[in-house]
Amino acid sequence: MRQAIIMIQDLVMVLVAVALSLILSQSRLSFDAFSFAGLVCWAIIVLAAHLLFRSCGLYNTVWRFASTPDFFNILKGCGSLTVVLYLASLAFRFFFQPVAGLNERQFIVFFLVSFTIISAPRLYYRFLRDGASWRILRRAPGDAPVKQALFIGRLSEADVIVRFTRTAVPAEYAIAGIMATESDAPLGTRIQGVPVVALRPRLVEVLEDYVKGTENLDLLIFGNGAERDIEDYAELVRVARH
């Protein structure tokens, strides 16, 4: 469900990028945008965008992290879509008729706008979901950097751990996310402002995405008896060490 929502969001952003690129480049198309031909054109663009984004691996990772691989995949997807649309316009111009108000300038603006507005929601969502984001902004310039940690254990313990790390002086660790060992825990809920980012049995999968997409993950904090509650405990430790 979540992946479907972000796919729809990306396609809406593509249409917004098309409109903005035409407006910013002051283009005057020779056809009505809401005519039958115009609607068919937008539908083809949406379909091409979806296929290219999937082939570029944009939905192979946990999208909420806005990691370096995510940005690279967005760059590939937007670049590929721009090239495909430009070649399609050249082919249409050669085999049928030229389209007034459409040239290289519109495609350059489209690439820049599409990359920006597709990346922005992911980055904003990561900022809101990261429990340490607001504390990082409030940190004084002279303060020592706080190490980022994930807590893995029961939700009943998470509240205590989060409170303890926040009251420690000096602050050494900040809990960025909670990985619950309960399979029926409410995913996405917040405990003391820290989001539950994973549930059993997807702990290893989500941790791998965290390790790949987050450069400042310094520590895993395991709750009491976590080694007994988690079947893949050894695999979690292996992923964290790498």
**Taking the domains of the chain in order of start, what are their residue ranges?**
2-129, 133-241
Residue 126 sits at φ, ψ, to 5 deg, of: -65, -40
The residue length of the chain stands at 242
Asked whether residue 135 carries a pLDDT value surpassing 70, the answer given is no
| CATH top class, domain 133-241 | alpha beta
Q: What are the beta bridge partners of residue 149?
A: 175, 219
Token pair 């706080």 is found at: 146
Q: Angle of helix 36-55 relative to helix 2-24, nearest 10 degrees? A: 130
Neighbour order of strands in the sheet with 190-191: 190-191, 194-199, 173-180, 147-153, 217-222
pLDDT at residue 134 tops 50? no
Residue 184 β-bridge partners: none
Q: Say if residues 9 and 53 touch (Cβ distance below 8 Å).
A: no
Q: How far apart are CA 200 and CA 180, in angstroms?
A: 7
Residue 165 scores a pLDDT above 80: no
- pLDDT (0 to 100) of residue 83: 92
Task: Read off the pLDDT of residues 101-129 as tens digits, 9 standing for 90 and up.
Answer: 677 788 888 889 999 888 888 777 766 65
How many angstroms separate the CA atoms of 242 and 237, rounded? 9
β-strand pairing of 194-199 with 173-180: parallel
Asked whether residue 2 carries a pLDDT value surpassing 70, the answer given is no
Helix (H, G, I), strand (E, B) or coil at 224: coil
Helix (H) or strand (E) holding 175: strand 173-180
At residue 145, the pLDDT reads 61
Q: What is the pLDDT of residue 5?
A: 79
Average confidence score pLDDT of the chain:
76
Contacts of residue 69, Cβ cutoff 8 Å, sequence gap at least 6: 57, 61, 212, 213
Q: Two tokens at 164?
A: 């303890």
**Given this model, what pLDDT does residue 200 score?**
78
